[in-house]
Amino acid sequence: MTTLQLKNIVKRYKSQTVLDDLSLDVAGGERLVLFGPSGSGKTVLLRLIAGVIEPDAGRVLIGGEDMTDVDAEHRGIGMAFQNFALFPHMSAFDNIASALTSRKSSKDTIAAGVHKVSKLLKIDHVLSHHPKALSNGQKQRTALARALVGSPPLLLLDDPLRNVDAKLRFEMRLELPRLLAAQGATVIYVTQDYKEAMALGDRIAVMAHGRIRQIGTPAEIYNAPADIEIARLFGDPTINLLEVVPQRGPDGAFVELSDMRLRLPGFGAEIVGKQCVLGLRPETIAFAEAASQGAIPVTVEAETPLNEKTVTLGLTARGREILVSRPAGTPGPVAGPAHIAVDGRTAFLFDKATGRRILPSELASKRNGEAA
């Protein structure tokens, strides 16, 4: 099991800093997803690990060995590219075999290796085709086969499902974990799709502006986002973000929604009067009876069915938009006035000025204690 360590990597293009003192530790056999919006530096980072781009500063260690100055062909890496990067003048067979021909293996060994991996990826019937004659899905599988065929201990997958249609993407999302587990390789997987990130990653590193903003398991990222931006990037529909100023109530802090009080359990005086942003995941909001405790009145503007769930757009009394999602087929209002129930314990609170999440006081003090 090969480990990967990046130490204080810096990469600049002209005056622009693309990677800014970035460090990362990946355990052997781990599947790490690099997630972030375009331009966050994920692709550059992947190429840097592969050795086709050199860092301006910092070290790349693969399996504990310093590979910073080692050429790409000697790093023992497999890589699949977003645009497939197939060799257009070679057949699918030769494309896949290219990762074996450099090793001076015998023709039979190469053929056996290619056939094994192409059978696994269900492309053994198109091996004689040139890339031009392959469908998008077949191209994608050929590119994947080329990355896998040499059983490299470190696999770099650069958004490999980006350019295939939704159905194929879903099928590959189910298939990939099995395929990768069978390889036993350490995997760095780049994607812009949060579902892919959550489905495939043992851990997710969220990147922005050349830095890693948060790294953790899918549950940690989803349930404890470090800042507004990360909360916004995970979840469909997007998390509701409402500007609020918490006030002091008889039983702790609260915020006002449609002039009703929403209690924020666990938060104390430190947030009172502070400019904050309240984050409410659409699936944590439920429709409620008007009479029920703490029900917040809204006006339903539109209802949009999204496959397995139904999303409702509501307006608060002050005209703020709130998205509510519920499993499809469950009852809910279609238009006009309605009430929603929000559990303050599932709400996130962010500092409006910095965008960082404010932890509930008891959690915060626990963290501080640990730090000390």
Partner 1 sequence: MNATALSIENVDKFYGPVDHGVHAVKQLNMDVMKGEIIALLGSSGCGKTSTLRMIAGFEPVSRGTISVAGRQVQTLAPVRRNVAMAFEGYSLYPPLTVRENIAFALKAAKLSQNVVEEKVASIAKLLEIEDILGRYPSSISGGQQQRASLGRALIREADLHLLDEPMGQLEPQLRAVLRGRIKHYIKERGLTAILVTHDQTEANALADRIAVMEGGVLQQFDTPQMIKERPANLFTGTFVGEPPMNVFEASVSGTEGRVAFGLEDGIRLEYPAADFSHAVRDALMKRKNVVLGIRPYSVRRSADGVTGRVAVNQWLGDQTHIAADFAGGTMVLVEHDRTNLEIGQPIGIRLDPGSLHVFDSESGMAISHGEELA
Partner 2 sequence: METTSPVERLLRGVALTLVVVFFMFPIVWIFLMSFQTNETILRIPPSVVFSPTLENYAALITGKLQTASGTLDIAFMRNLGNSVLLSVASVAVALLLGVPAAYAFARHKFKGSEDIAFTLLSFRFAPPLLVLLPLTQYFQWLGLSNTYFGLIWIYQLICLPLILWIVRGYFEDISADVEYAYRIAGHSWFSTFRKIALPLAGPGIAAAGLLAFIFAWNNFVFALVLASADKQPVTVGALAFVTASGIQYGQIAAAIVLSITPTLALALYAQRYLVEGLSLGAVKG
Residues 6+ apart with CB under 8 A from 206: 35, 36, 212, 213, 214, 215, 221, 226, 230, 233
Q: Is the separation of the CB atoms in 147 and 80 below 8 Å?
A: yes
Q: Which of 338, 329, 341, 342 is nearest to 300 (CA)?
A: 338
Residues 123-182 that bind partner 2 (CB under 8 A): 131-132, 139, 146, 150
User: Is residue 320 involved in binding partner 1 (CB under 8 A)?
Assistant: no
Q: Which of 283, 316, 340, 347 forms a contact with partner 1 (CB under 8 A)? A: 283
Residues 24-83 that bind partner 2 (CB under 8 A): 47, 50-52, 71-75, 77-79, 81, 83
Burial 5-41 (b: 16+ CB within 10 A, else e): bbbebebeeeeebbbeebebebeebbbbbbbbeeebb
User: Is residue 279 involved in binding partner 2 (CB under 8 A)?
Assistant: no
User: Is residue 195 involved in binding partner 1 (CB under 8 A)?
Assistant: yes
Q: By three-state DSSP, how is residue 17 classified?
A: strand
Q: How many other C-beta atoms are found inside a 10 Å radius of the C-beta of residue 113? A: 21
User: Is residue 85 involved in binding partner 2 (CB under 8 A)?
Assistant: yes
User: Is residue 372 involved in binding partner 1 (CB under 8 A)?
Assistant: no
Closer residue to partner 1 (CB): 329 or 369: 329
Q: How far apart, in Å, are the Cα atoms of 198 and each of 33, 37, 43, 158, 166? A: 8, 15, 19, 16, 17
Find residue 314's DSSP bridge partners. 300, 322
Closer residue to partner 1 (CB): 249 or 327: 327
Residues binding partner 1: number (CB under 8 A):
43
Minimum separation from the CB atom of position 93 to partner 1 (A)? 28
The stretch near partner 2 (CB under 8 A) out of 32-40, 85-93, 260-268, 302-310 is 85-93
Find residue 13's DSSP bridge partners. 16
- For 33, the enclosing helix (H) or strand (E) is strand 31-35
d(CA 123, CA 3): 31
Minimum separation from the CB atom of position 22 to partner 2 (A)? 20
Residues of the shown chain interacting with partner 2 in the complex, contacts defined by CB under 8 A: 47, 50-52, 71-75, 77-79, 81, 83-89, 98-99, 101-103, 131-132, 139, 146, 150
Interface positions with partner 1 (CB under 8 A): 37, 165-167, 170-171, 173-174, 177-178, 194-195, 198-200, 218-219, 222, 232-238, 281-283, 301-302, 304-309, 311, 313, 321, 323, 325, 327-328
